Amino acid sequence: MSDVYAQPTAAAQPASTGELAQYTTLCLGGPAGRVVTATNADELVSQVREAGSEILLIAGGSNVVIGDAGFPGTVVLVRSRGLRVLAEDEQTVTIRVEAGEPWDDLVAATVRNGWSGLECLSGIPGSTGATPIQNVGAYGQEVAETIIAVQVYDRIAGTVGQVETTACGFAYRSSIFKCNERWVVLSVDFRLARSPLSGPVRYAELARALGVEVGDRVPLAQARSTVLRLRAGKGMVLDAGDPDTRSVGSFFTNPILDAAAYEHLRQRAVDLGEPPSWPGAGDTVKVSAAWLIDKAGFGKGYSGPGGTAISTKHTLALTNPTGAASTDALLTLAREIRDGVHARFGVSLHPEPVLINCTL
């Protein structure tokens, strides 16, 4: 499905309503000083140059929490669209995708065209330009595996250039672009395999749903439809009729622990069984944040202050189900969960979305 996009605002025109809630999937966020729209890369560069230091870029608004006080500077709505083929041969195709292209529209197009590499990232809301910032990943795939370059505007040098994938600093839900005001992503280059089949299925839950073994391949359309079904069952596919999707998806990242910290967790959780985990880089272990939250007493549907709640479908999603909550109320719920998990297990949870003019 398409990302959530606001109605275009005339370039350099002050916002009429001012509330940034209309541009975020959480439906939260106070007034903006000014809202402008960029419909292509050149406009994006010029709007950023003109805005100066106080600037906030919003595309899909699916991974941002904006404070109730809003943002006093200029908000640039990234609405650039389109993709084009840069190179192709019998085995691969290289495409360049504009930053504002809705991510799931891109994934759908790659599946239709028989390009393999993004199919397990179906249903993720947001824009293509946001994916390298967060190193978006799900069901065993990450964009770092297929991105070969990112076109950027360097706000310090005042130049447009390109960052090769080896210089992007990709890590778990992170990159050099995250929480770094220097870079404005203009477009992203992906190299995908020409194949009617998915990449090897790596995620056990997805393999079970597909009825295959881990490591098997399936038709691209089958992988996509199964991922969409799994995500929808967790409230992770945007749906205007489902209040559980009024969220930023996973609010907390899965903690990555060293061997000593993981052993400490196991001892704290001895009455609950083995904590779900996966091998991380080096000697680290990645632990399920959803399991920690649930076992600390914050189950699905847990009610927070001011009309906030944990999703009834997934404990990682904090929601604004009625659309009438405040950012302060949502963050109060997040703090309660964070502190409760730490008190029970000694593990610190960290937010996945970017926090604007608010803190956890």
Active site residues: 173, 250, 352
- Quick one: angle between helices 220-233 and 103-112, nearest 10? 150
Q: Name the one residue in this structure whose structure tokens are 């907390």.
A: 252
CA atoms within 13 A on the CB side of 164: 1
DSSP 248: -
Rounded distance between C-alpha atoms, residue 134 and residue 9, angstroms = 26
Token readout for 359 is 């803190």
C-beta separation of 129 from 253 below 8 A: no
C-beta separation of 63 from 165 below 8 A: no
C-beta separation of 20 from 70 below 8 A: yes
Token readout for 190 is 């992906």
Amino acid code (one letter) for 72: P
DSSP 128: G
CA atoms within 13 A on the CB side of 55: 23
Rounded distance between C-alpha atoms, residue 18 and residue 237, angstroms = 27
Amino acid code (one letter) for 282: G
Token readout for 42 is 């050149």
Rounded distance between C-alpha atoms, residue 213 and residue 296, angstroms = 33
Rounded distance between C-alpha atoms, residue 343 and residue 340, angstroms = 5
